[in-house]
Structure 1
Amino acid sequence: MFTKFKKSELFTLIVVVCLIFISEYIYLVEGDFKKAIFIGLWPPTIVGLLIFFNLKLKK
């Protein structure tokens, strides 16, 4: 299943998933809502950049 992904893409996806869990932890356990939202906004940005660069490389 993951054989079509490059190592850099897998690493990026792992980082994104970790950031999501960190954001949830900060929100639920520490109760720091602003910090959790700030961290939670990074995963979609990183995934968007990954998609953008993959589309640019395929052209």
Structure 2
Amino acid sequence: MEAAEDSTTDIAVLASVASVALSWYQFFVRGDREMGLFVGLWAPTIIGFASYFNQKRMEQKLASLGPSRIKDSIEQMLSGR
């Protein structure tokens, strides 16, 4: 939970939505199809970078816990405590 709360996912989603909106504007309103396609490709790139950095942050937190605490956490989840 802590990793999700500290993440930048909300900012990445907002930036991706803005990219799609700007893409549609360029493509349909202004008629600039190439620019619309170019800007539309920003959304998956932004989400990809956000995912990468979130995975790295989670990996660092898991490494700092150590193997015994990870094993205990998994056992607690499986036992339903």
| TM-score range for the pair, normalised by the shorter chain length | 0.7 to 0.9
Q: CA deviation at 1:49?
A: 0.6
What is the TM-score with the length of structure 1 in the denominator? 0.81
Higher alpha-carbon Rg: 2
Over 2 Å off, 4+ runs: 4-9
Q: List gaps (5 residues or longer) in structure 1.
A: none
Whose RCO is larger (CA < 8 A, sep 6+)? 1
How many positions carry a matched residue from both structures? 56
Normalization by structure 2: what TM-score?
0.61
CA RMSD across the alignment? 1.6
> C-alpha distance in 2, partners of 1:45/1:9?
13
Q: What amino acid sits opposite 1:54 in the alignment?
A: N
1:9 offset after TM fit, Å? 2.2
